[in-house]
Structure 1
Amino acid sequence: MDRLPRWADLALVPLISLLLAAIISALVILAIGQDPWEAITVMVQGSLMSAYGWGYTLYYTTSFIFTGLCVTIAFHAGLFNIGGEGQAQLGGLGVALACLFIPWPHWSLALIGASLAAAAFGAAWIAIPAWLQARRGSHIVITTIMFNYIASSLMIFMLVDVLRPPGQQDPSTANFPAVTHIPSLDELPLFNLIFTKPVPANISLLIALAVAAGVWVLLWHTRLGYQIRAFGKSEAGARYAGISATKITMIALMLSGALAGMMAINNVMGEAERLVGNSASGAGFIGIAVALMGRNHPIGVVLAALLFGFLFQGGAELGMWTKIPIEMRIVVQGLVILFTGALDMMVRMMLTRIFALFRNPRPVGAA
């Protein structure tokens, strides 16, 4: 049976999928009476051609790395965590409680404490769906989707009735103490040579990259990672080998929830410096597309997160400087998801046939 070379499967398939998504996006822009070349020019200039643009692109990228890794680690256990959005919101609650009610002496200690709180709250929020999956057979896709809605309602209650300061109309917490301010990239040595003005991207970008490296080590260089991947490939085989299905399900999903919760370091502690409603801003769902496009590998997740960071910032620039509505970025994201996810097999089959033609040329004079 003909198979694609590994390099083509990892690099060529996503690139062609992106190209197809770009072509369809251009046709959509033409259909609404706008200029596709103007659109791509504005997106590139607004997100990649200035330190300001990079600051926002990397800010979005950071969130997508966390949520993409969240989906990745669950996927390798054969599980599909759709609840990253709710877990990220609960992670924000953990960050807010740690920053508001613990008197930290220095931002570095506050960062460690808030990171642990975010991870703990995200892991705790998925613990019930994980247990239902492991012990009762409840489908993790259904339960995590339901918990997104519960998380949203819980956050409204906390922000309106519990954490909102007296006399404040905005459903949000008070601003965090100044000591909990973590450095943005323009405040870090070396980075401040590039980012000379304040940008939202912050030190959590470096944490996200370190976490991506840690996930790679965990999955491919530890016994636990081997058990997770073995369980994901064949649950029956893993059980036969003595791997506990309950243990692996609980560990993989709680690690997944912890990674989603840690996204709050970036947007709650780093950018807003307070907890507001809908703090996740859809990043939990975008993480699914990031993981799919990144082939559920940490390196691929980082690259895919950068692409979606570009789309987010570029889409905002479209809405600001052109007549193309900002919602166009949602259309582009949807097309990217369509071609890299749902139609991925179509692209792979097309390339497999093309490679087969070069691998097995017809003999001269064949009928």
Structure 2
Amino acid sequence: MSSRTQNFLVPIISIILGLIFGAIVMLISGYNPVAGYTALWNGIFGSSYNFGETVRTIIPYVFSGLAVAFAFRTGLFNIGVEGQLIMGWFAAAYVGFAWDLPTIIHLPVAILAAALVGAAWAFIPGILKARLGVHEVIVTIMMNYIALRSINPLIAAVTGGAERTPKVHESASLRSEFLQSLTDYSRMHWGFIIAIIGVFVMWFILEKTTLGYELKSVGFNRNASEYAGMNVKKNIVLSMVISGAFAGLAGAMEALGTFGNIASMSSFSGIGFDGIAVALLGANQPVGVFFAAVLFGSLKNGGINMPNEAGVPNEIVSIVIALIILFAASGYVIRLLLDRAGKSKKEVK
């Protein structure tokens, strides 16, 4: 069996196994898995409103998954996506409400501000890794907490002590009355188009540019890349910066689309951390990340309906997601079984 076929089958098998074992967990816990999964389906597609909310939930997962996957593909582990997202969220919200510009300028500037601030937040662990050899996992974890503890004073500083910023101006908003009318006034917004563009941008950078070739080369073997004349330190920093830009864009989707502002935070949003699982399930490939984000966003939004319709607690959804991640992380075992199945068929022939 070809590696391309295996790359396609492993995530699908992981999802199926996760759903099967999730059903077993429901049975053991005294819940009806058929009713539970029916409620999950209805929560995703049961109405135009639910569908709109599902799409809205998927959008930031696409960007957080791309952020993690981009760093993975270039040999780095960016666990700081959550912090970069928070700072990008703040930047987009601030530009959205504090500046007064025409729509054709205001919206792109607000989105760009989020990307730049996310990139700047990722630049710190990148430069420490490149210049001093400090492991990026340690620094990015700490940067997450710095972002979380810094955001509330920043909000208070720009609002005069309020716990949330004003709503962004219409000229900087991704919301659409047209999309809301189609989805029974859900919070679906135009960010889904930007997410699709983000998938294409990552694919184009990594597969069609010299920069992408160098970044991947450094990720595979830094010593060989340096021997070939590549600037390893520069590429490490660039990798983190681009990854941080994707994370910042995830924050922009929340600031300019879903919520229209940013409020004081006492805990992480979780989107950045879930991006690790999205990237893992998507095999760090742009298109794979997109479909993994669709799955995660659907499960997250659909799971909200399970307690109301089937009496199944939200924790069951978390268990199903965790099981899918477990099987995706155990992809080597699935690949081994697929190889053996392929060899058995050949022997029979």
Aligned to 2:322: 334
Please state whether the residue corresponding to 1:263 is helix, strand or coil. Answer: helix
| 1:289 CA drift (Å) | 0.9
In the alignment, which residue of structure 2 is the partner of 1:172? Answer: 164
> Cα offset for 1:271?
1.6
Paired with 1:209 and 1:37, the residues of 2 have a C-alpha distance of 33
Q: How does 1:43-82 map to 2 (within 5 A)?
A: 43-82=40-79
Q: 2:296 aligns with which of 308, 320, 324?
A: 308
Bigger drift between 219-228 and 137-146 goes to: 137-146
Find 2:311's aligned residue among 320, 323, 326: 323
Distance 1:178 1:197 in 2: 20
Deviations 1:220-250 (A, max 9, x none): 0000011111111111111111111111101
For residues 341 and 81 of structure 2, the distance between their equivalents in structure 1, rounded to whole angstroms, comes to 38
The offset of 1:124, in angstroms, is 0.8
2: CA distance between counterparts of 1:172 and 1:336? 36
Q: Which residue of 1 is the match for residue 5 of structure 2? A: 8
> Is residue 128 of structure 1 aligned with residue 124 of structure 2?
yes
1:104 counterpart = 2:101: yes
Hey, which of these two has a bigger chunk of helix by percent? 2
- In the alignment, which of 184, 187, 192 is matched to residue 178 of structure 2? 187
Give the TM-score taking structure 1 as reference length.
Answer: 0.90
Match of 1:89 in 2: 86
* Counterpart code for 1:175: K
Aligned to 2:14: 17
Does the Cα contact within 8 Å between 1:165 and 1:173 map onto a contact in 2? Answer: no
| Superposition CA RMSD, Å | 1.8
Deviation track 1:135-163 (CA, whole Å, cap 9, x = no partner) reads 1111111111111111100112223x313
How much has 1:318 moved relative to structure 2? 1.0
Structure 2 gaps, min length 5:
none
For 2:264, the equivalent position in structure 1 comes to: 277
Q: Output one character per residue of 1:254-282: Cα deviation in whole Å (capped at 9) or x when no partner.
A: 00001000012221111211112349621
Runs of 4+ in structure 1 deviating by more than 6 angstroms, as ranges, are none
Are 1:292 and 2:280 matched, yes or no? yes
Matched position secondary structure for 1:163: helix
Per-residue Cα deviation, 1:274-333 (whole angstroms, up to 9, x for no partner): 112349621101111111111111111111110011101111111332321122222122
Q: CA deviation at 1:196?
A: 4.7
Whole-angstrom CA distance in 2 between matches of 1:360 and 1:8: 20
TM-score, normalised with respect to structure 2: 0.95
Identical columns (%) = 34
Deviates more, 1:296-305 or 1:327-336: 327-336
Instruction: Give the direction of change, closer, same or farther, for the CA distance of 1:280–1:59 in structure 2 (3 Å limit).
Output: farther
Amino acid at match of 1:99: G
Look up the match of 1:257.
244
Determine if contact 1:93/1:121 at 8 Å carries over to the other structure.
no
Q: Which runs of 5+ in 1 are unaligned?
A: 363-367
